[in-house]
Structure 1
Amino acid sequence: METDKEKSLPEKSPSFSSRNESNNINENPCDDHDQSPESQNNPQPSEPTAANPETDNAVEEQPTDVEDSSPPLPPDLNTLSEEIDQFISALSSSEPDHESEPPEVPENLEQFAVLVEAKVANYDSGDGPPVRWTQLTDEDSSTFVEAVERVSKLSTLLRKFSSEPKYASSMNRIGGIFQRAMSYLEEEFRSLVEDYKIPDSSDDNTNDAKSKHSSSNQDPDQRAVPEADPCPMSENIFPGYSDEVVTNLNRLVKVMISGGHEAECCQVYFISRRNALEDCLHNLGFDKFSIDDVQKMHWESLEREIVAWIRTYKQFAAVVFPRESNLTATVFSHALSASISESLFGSLSRGVMIQLLNFAEALTMTKRSAEKLFKFLDIYETLHGLIPTMDGLFPKECVEELKSEASMTRCRLGEAMICIFCELENSIKTDAGKTPVPGGAVHPLTRYTMNYLKYACEYKDTLEQVFKEHKKIERADSATRSDYDCNSSQGHMEESQSPFELQLTKVMDLLDSNLEGKSKLYKDPSLSLVFLMNNGRYILQKIKGSTEINSLMGDPWCRKRSSDLRSYHKNYVRETWGRLLYCLNHEGLNVNGKVVKPVLKERFKSFNAMFDEIHKTQSTWVVSDEQLQSELRVSISAVVIPAYRSFMGRFSQYLTPGRQSEKYIKYQPEDIETYIDELFDGNATPMGKRRL
């Protein structure tokens, strides 16, 4: 048969029944609170003072009147709560040290305390693990929250009247229950907020992120980075939490903050979400490095880290931060905590942003080298594109700081890129190799510089901005540069040119000057001219093949370059084939109207020997540009073959047919054309074998 005490307790959730029976009343310091007020005010003596027949009879007859004399059942929690609410209302309208007397403590306050304490004990028993908040039914959790809120209000109001002796006992009683309830709620809040979903490591996108796939040989223009979403979401936009969990977090926040536990609540939330964002960074492939770590890393490793940095920065700005902001605002959406959400999100986002910006800034402190330009440009563009969006992304309290930090980092990247261009100039100036390129081919310096400039000009707009913003930066080689500017034909460019155009022109002038010096390494003047043609044509083709660099160099520059190439071409034909044509000169062959055969034979012998030597030598020379190769062969044929055919047609008849004719007339015009077509392919073929 149920006791009166058991009847007075609210109905428990089925999962808590075994725990409730062991933790209800026995632990309470007031075991007799289920008695009626009358029985409390008139306690019975422990022993009878004397034998009294009437009394004894009354005692013996007592069981027959038990139904009439038993105390009424204590009210349940809902009924008690109504009375407590009235007391709370009365306390709220009263003021300490006021003339009016504050309200009396309700007789049922202790019963209310017992019931709430028992409910807290049900969930937070010391005999076993606490009941998780997610295990409670909606009805249980709502009842519990309402009870704790009521206790919270009572505790706050009673402390306001701490000088009232009649409230001392109740204040201690309610305060103890409230602290235990808050401790339980704090742990449950921690459990919920820490139970976010971590990305599955088997996810393809995550694997891509972790692998940081980026070859060091990747073309700089291949800058598009696939953006994986590293933070799995529910169907809503809360990162890693279901709608139900977010709702519970919001309810717990409301109770904790209204109960004065704002600091504990915010600390738990901040630490948990900070860890979640660190997980997100890691799963995107970005690891935290110190400035020393960055400076010690090889460029190949840094290049991969930069790719991960760009992916992470864009992903956080576009996805992670907006979702994190929405989560924080929703969890702390209660009127008492509206301003807290901005402060929390500001601290969380600031920590991540500073970590990302520190990495970018550490890169600017590494050793300058031309190969770093394109990755620096990628970071610069990323920052430039996202800085304007920060106003709508971060709270006002931290947005200005973050924008300032990002702008400062971008500025330092710009300075680093200016210095890198200086390094490019210095590398051209100091490339003074004394070994000529075999066959007069395109020099590696030409290929490197032009490919470098071609890729750099794909960032034309960005570099225009960089050089415009940083044109007043002191150059490390200012003294050398000033000497160059005074002597350069481009030293006084029109002011209408942009700083980057001027820079590009100076680099091209340096390259021209270097190649001119390298052409003098060849002992054969003809080979020197072929070298200048090869390199000049390569430069012109690279510029014409790139819209960006072509627009910067301009048509006048290209026309002058084409004119220089035509000049090299004419000089080569005159230098190489002019001497050969002298052998076919008619002058000196006729004396008194007769052909001098010895002179004629010598002319044929000289032509044959000279042509053999030219073929042997220049068939090993290299002209890799097919158009230039064809142009050279056509111009040579146009000069040599008509002159040779004319010479043969006029003078071959003066040689005796047969052995003498074969001895001196070694080539037919068709043979000459065939051998000219073998020039500049880098593979010499012995002419004697060819004739067989």
Structure 2
Amino acid sequence: MGVLENRRKETTPVPAGNGRTGLFSFTKTLSSLSSFSLSIPNSIPPSPLHKFSESMMEENVENAELMITKWDPDSSTKYEFLFQENRKEAKDFIKCVKDLRRAMHFLVSENSVSEKLVLAQNLMQMAMKRLEIEFYQILSSNRRYLDPGSVSSRSSRLLAWSSSRSGHSDEEDYVGVNDDGPMASESISEEERLSELAMSDLKSIADCMISSGYGKECVKIYKIIRKSIVDEQLYHLGIERRSSSIINKMNSQVFEHHIKNWLDGIKIAVKTLFHGERVLCDHVFSFSNTIRESCFTGVTKEGGIMFFMFPELVAKSKRSPEKIFRLMDLYESITDFWSEIESIFSFELVSPVKLQALNSLLKLGESIQIILSEFELSIQKNSFKIPIPGGGIHPLTNSVMNYISFLADYSGVLTEIITDSTSPTESLLPESYFESPNQNEGPAAAISVRLAWIILVLICKLDTKAELYNDIALSYLFLANNLQFIVEKVRTSNLKCLLGDDWITKHEKKVRQYAANFEVMAWSKVFSTLPENSSDGMSPETVKARFRQFNLGFEQAYRKQTSWVVLDGNLRDEIKVSIAKNLVPAYREFYETHLVALSGEKDLEVLVRFAPDNIENYLSDLFHGTAISGSSSSSSSSSSLSRVSRCLS
């Protein structure tokens, strides 16, 4: 007892104004403990049971003094760490602190100015300083084992273990030093074991410091170290603080690089980094909901806001038609992880992160709708006034349909954005435009109507482009070509699911009508040279005149139409078959009926230039005109997108 007596003599109350946070916390603790004071009248002598309790509490203080002074950071002869040197002794240290706290409760109720209470106060400050050092050392030296990815992967087992411990007393809380953590019964790697022990140690220290009134010191250390880890991880993911002006100055390659970084990083950030930090924080500070909310907020709020602000900055940057696809990628990524975002950032203090993610969604949606509207307007304002040679596919048709087919691949995203936000012009679509019964039902109806409307705007614009041709027949061939391209693009893409088979059938009929009109306008002059009834008697001169007229008409039509083009093979064959069906039989009948009358005619080969069998051969040469750059249906998707802005201008 000599050591204890000397310690009592050396111990003096610490002045209240020394500025030490620990004393301030302890003073608050004393104030709260005073409510537990026993109201025992002075006139009643202490009972034997009371004497026994007092003796036991004093013994607790003496035992704590032996353990705590041994690990006094200010008097340690060598730089040692308790939880690293002796795990059994670490458990005893925690138990001593808890016993010391119980003794302080008792002493406050008996005599708030006793020497024992002053000694206990100094010992508690000494113990908290040691635990503060231990807490920092475990956090800083076990960064590898407390990696958010590792913690996140074990979240379900930690949760199950925490639930199983919920009914245990304070003495049983500290499991780390017993090596019987949440995975003790499983076959685990050494790295996983060390990770589990580090988490248990941190929880034990945090519980002890918080319950002793020193939570502020513990929280400060935790926030500093874990926030640095979050910031470092975000930096490695390529996430940095940027502004809209910086994004506007990026060239396409740099812009694409940063978008890809973010899209690749969101899964890691949400499912690993932020989720792992939430799991670790919930485990270490399970003692107090308020403290774990404060800690998690301090660790992740700044990084989380910075991470989810990037899509908003992209949405606010300079718009272009091709940028819409990256905006939809960003939108889809946030919606895919929205349930996790809500769960991870469910605390009220960290809700600004969730609000930032939501705001990014809203800004992306607004920007996507604006780009769609501007795209539609650019079709209407297209001022390209040079007729496409041969009546081929207009660059506007190519670029717009490639663009719309890509939009159809994002029908899920667009459905969320466009539902209940269609423009008034779309209500002008005729009721018969869609005949499929499912087109006006369900959320997909909005995107179906929007894309159908844009295609209708394109078709109307093509009508004005057809007027640029001086030859009416060629204008009809142009319309047939372009509408056939549109129909085929719908048929071979996701547009078919959105617009339906009836839409395709309706527009195929329109293509056939354009082709029929072309045939009439291009070949009516040739057809008119042949008599309706070849068996009617005609003079030789009349027969000669008919052959000359046919020769001239056919040669002119053939010469002209060899430079015209029908790119779709099926449509080309249908047109040629139709022409041959109407022309060859009539010519054959005229030829066979009247050729005998000219048998004695000089230069018969000049007069009768075409045999019936040769007509079909000539017709087979038609509509293979010179390919027009950018008009082929096989043009690559990427090159089409790169021309969108130019073609729409």
Under a length normalisation based on structure 2, what TM-score does the superposition of the two structures give?
A: 0.71
- C-alpha root-mean-square deviation of aligned residues, in Å? 4.5
Deviations 1:524-552 (A, max 9, x none): 22221111011111112222334x53454
After TM superposition, give the deviation of residue 332 of structure 1 in Å: 2.5
After TM superposition, give the deviation of residue 391 of structure 1 in Å: 5.3
Counterpart selection for 2:133 from 167, 184, 203: 184
Partner of 1:420 in structure 2?
371
Counterpart selection for 1:306 from 239, 256, 259: 259
Query: Equivalents in 1 of 2:193, 2:600: separation in Å?
Result: 100
Count of residue pairs the alignment pairs up: 550
Higher helix share: 2
Partner of 1:512 in structure 2?
459
**What amino acid maps onto 2:495 in structure 1?**
I
Confirm whether residue 631 of structure 1 aligns to residue 574 of structure 2: yes
Aligned residues of 1:490 and 1:506 also touching (Cα < 8 A): no
After TM superposition, give the deviation of residue 389 of structure 1 in Å: 5.2
Query: Equivalents in 2 of 1:235, 1:329: separation in Å?
Result: 22
Deviations 1:603-629 (A, max 9, x none): 434433443333333222221111101
Query: Equivalents in 2 of 1:453, 1:298: separation in Å?
Result: 25
After TM superposition, give the deviation of residue 320 of structure 1 in Å: 4.3
Q: Which has the higher contact order (CA 8 A, sep 6+)?
A: 2
Query: Equivalents in 2 of 1:285, 1:256: separation in Å?
Result: 37
CA separation of 1:115/1:528 partners in 2, compared to 1, >3 Å: closer, same or farther?
A: closer
CA separation of 1:189/1:98 partners in 2, compared to 1, >3 Å: closer, same or farther?
A: farther
CA separation of 1:444/1:157 partners in 2, compared to 1, >3 Å: closer, same or farther?
A: farther
Aligned residues of 2:293 and 2:349 also touching (Cα < 8 A): no
**What amino acid maps onto 2:461 in structure 1?**
N
Query: Equivalents in 1 of 2:239, 2:34: separation in Å?
Result: 56
CA separation of 1:678/1:287 partners in 2, compared to 1, >3 Å: closer, same or farther?
A: farther
Partner of 2:540 in structure 1?
595
Secondary structure at 1:617's aligned position in 2?
Answer: helix
The range that moved more, 452-461 or 293-302, is: 293-302
Confirm whether residue 644 of structure 1 aligns to residue 587 of structure 2: yes
Partner of 2:320 in structure 1?
369
Alignment of 1:244-283 (within 5 A): 244-283=197-236
Alignment of 1:341-360 (within 5 A): 341-360=292-311
Deviations 1:469-512 (A, max 9, x none): 434xxx7xxxxx76x977x8679999957444443333122111
Query: Equivalents in 1 of 2:417, 2:533: separation in Å?
Result: 66
Aligned residues of 1:604 and 1:665 also touching (Cα < 8 A): yes
Query: Equivalents in 1 of 2:64, 2:268: separation in Å?
Result: 52
Counterpart selection for 1:583 from 529, 532, 541: 529
Aligned residues of 2:83 and 2:134 also touching (Cα < 8 A): no
CA separation of 1:288/1:124 partners in 2, compared to 1, >3 Å: closer, same or farther?
A: farther
Query: Equivalents in 2 of 1:590, 1:113: separation in Å?
Result: 134
Confirm whether residue 453 of structure 1 aligns to residue 399 of structure 2: no
Partner of 1:524 in structure 2?
471
Secondary structure at 1:252's aligned position in 2?
Answer: helix
Counterpart selection for 1:430 from 362, 381, 392: 381
**What amino acid maps onto 1:642 in structure 2?**
P
**What amino acid maps onto 1:422 in structure 2?**
S
Task: Tell which structure's C-alpha radius of gyration is larger.
Answer: 1
**What amino acid maps onto 2:479 in structure 1?**
L
**What amino acid maps onto 2:576 in structure 1?**
R
Secondary structure at 2:348's aligned position in 1?
Answer: helix
Alignment of 1:456-467 (within 5 A): 456-467=407-418
Query: Equivalents in 1 of 2:303, 2:195: separation in Å?
Result: 24
Partner of 1:667 in structure 2?
610
Partner of 2:157 in structure 1?
none
Deviations 1:147-205 (A, max 9, x none): 555666678888999973746974685366346424533432442454556699xxxxx
Alignment of 1:401-416 (within 5 A): 404-416=355-367
Query: Equivalents in 2 of 1:589, 1:603: separation in Å?
Result: 14
After TM superposition, give the deviation of residue 422 of structure 1 in Å: 0.5
Deviations 1:406-432 (A, max 9, x none): 444323322222212101111101112
After TM superposition, give the deviation of residue 243 of structure 1 in Å: 1.4
Aligned residues of 1:490 and 1:505 also touching (Cα < 8 A): no
CA separation of 1:586/1:457 partners in 2, compared to 1, >3 Å: closer, same or farther?
A: closer
Query: Equivalents in 1 of 2:358, 2:264: separation in Å?
Result: 19
The range that moved more, 531-540 or 316-325, is: 316-325
Aligned residues of 1:270 and 1:348 also touching (Cα < 8 A): yes
Aligned residues of 1:120 and 1:181 also touching (Cα < 8 A): yes
Partner of 2:72 in structure 1?
120
Aligned residues of 1:324 and 1:345 also touching (Cα < 8 A): yes
Aligned residues of 1:155 and 1:178 also touching (Cα < 8 A): no
CA separation of 1:260/1:667 partners in 2, compared to 1, >3 Å: closer, same or farther?
A: same
**What amino acid maps onto 1:572 in structure 2?**
F
**What amino acid maps onto 2:508 in structure 1?**
S
**What amino acid maps onto 2:586 in structure 1?**
A
Counterpart selection for 1:535 from 476, 479, 482: 482
After TM superposition, give the deviation of residue 661 of structure 1 in Å: 1.8
After TM superposition, give the deviation of residue 348 of structure 1 in Å: 4.0
Secondary structure at 2:71's aligned position in 1?
Answer: helix
Query: Equivalents in 2 of 1:138, 1:419: separation in Å?
Result: 63
CA separation of 1:176/1:529 partners in 2, compared to 1, >3 Å: closer, same or farther?
A: closer
**What amino acid maps onto 1:272 in structure 2?**
I
Query: Equivalents in 2 of 1:319, 1:240: separation in Å?
Result: 19
Alignment of 1:50-69 (within 5 A): none
Confirm whether residue 561 of structure 1 aligns to residue 507 of structure 2: yes
Partner of 1:611 in structure 2?
554
Counterpart selection for 1:573 from 509, 513, 519: 519
Query: Equivalents in 2 of 1:291, 1:671: separation in Å?
Result: 68
Deviations 1:667-691 (A, max 9, x none): 322222112111111259xxxxxxx
Query: Equivalents in 2 of 1:647, 1:123: separation in Å?
Result: 125
Partner of 1:330 in structure 2?
283
Aligned residues of 1:161 and 1:167 also touching (Cα < 8 A): no
Query: Equivalents in 2 of 1:631, 1:295: separation in Å?
Result: 51
Identity of aligned residues (%): 26
Aligned residues of 1:343 and 1:395 also touching (Cα < 8 A): no
Query: Equivalents in 1 of 2:282, 2:213: separation in Å?
Result: 20
**What amino acid maps onto 2:594 in structure 1?**
F
**What amino acid maps onto 1:673 in structure 2?**
E
